[in-house]
Amino acid sequence: MLSGLMMDYAITVDRTLEHGNRLYPCKQNNTETHDGAMHVFTCRIL
């Protein structure tokens, strides 16, 4: 058995977004909707 390789908590979307906010608060995420409209946001907004 390999001990010490499991994380202490689950990797979930909220933890991923919090991590992005801590490291890259000013980076923009750009997404395009199905109708061609652009949606721009930062992790800080979330």
How does pLDDT run across 1-46, given as a tens digit for each residue?
566 677 777 778 888 878 888 888 888 888 898 999 998 877 666 5
Phi, psi of 7 (to 5 degrees): -80, 155
pTM above 0.85, yes or no: no
For residues 30 and 41, give the distance between their C-alpha atoms in angstroms, rounded to a whole number. Answer: 7
Phi, psi of 39 (to 5 degrees): -120, 120
pLDDT of residue 35: 92
Name the residue ranges covered by the structural domains of the chain.
Answer: 13-42
CA dihedral 28, 33, 37, 41 (to 10 degrees): -20
pLDDT of residue 43: 65
Q: What radius of gyration do the chain's Cα atoms show?
A: 16
